[in-house]
Structure 1
Amino acid sequence: MKTQALVGLGLMAVALTACGGRQPLKPVKGQSLPAVPVGAATAPTAAQLMQPSIQARPERNVELLTQSRKRGDDPFDLPPEKQPQ
């Protein structure tokens, strides 16, 4: 009984994953794509709008720290000012 339920659940999961559409994105009826950005010659396509910018997805820095180092003096590490009471 349990194996039938697991098999049924697996088949439902496979069926749900096949439901995704592969057509290009289009704006909803009555809506339009965003305005042309300032300085751009043409409006971006839906695929370009879905591509994250380099700021939204920066590359990882995988440099490993192999030895401990003492932190240098930080001239901006100042104690907080006393607030008048």
Structure 2
Amino acid sequence: MRYWVALGAAIALSACGQRAMLQPVEGASLPPAPYGAEVQPDADDLLALDPTAAPDRTVELRTRSEEREDDPFDLPPE
């Protein structure tokens, strides 16, 4: 029984994706253009991430486990 419920939930969630271009709701408009901008950004421009919102990783991830060094400030609660 649980298998069928989990399978049904997985199928329902996989069908939630939006495949059409985003458009404002009828009667509504896009937000006003930013101060000083010469053109009104469209929906795709508004959805693009700013580089500061999703910065590139600049550090290399550890590839294997390593022992932690002793931390003198890692004290138990009083």
Report TM bin, short chain.
0.5 to 0.7
Q: Distance in 2 between matches of 1:5 and 1:27?
A: 40
Determine which of 33, 38, 42 is the counterpart of 2:35: 38
Tell me which stretches of 4 or more aligned residues in structure 1 moved more than 6 Å.
none
By how many angstroms is 1:12 displaced? 3.1
Equivalent residue for 2:24? Answer: 27
Q: Unaligned regions of 5+ residues in structure 1, if any?
A: 65-85
Q: Unaligned regions of 5+ residues in structure 2, if any?
A: 62-78
Normalising to structure 1: TM-score of the pair?
A: 0.54
Q: 1:1-85 alignment to 2 at 5 Å?
A: 4-62=1-59
Q: Distance in 2 between matches of 1:5 and 1:35?
A: 49
The 1:6/1:63 distance shift into structure 2, 3 A limit, reads closer
C-alpha distance after superposition, 1:9-46 (max 9, x if no partner): 21331133113231111222332101122333321111
By how many angstroms is 1:63 displaced? 5.5
Report the number of matched residues: 61
Normalising to structure 2: TM-score of the pair?
A: 0.58
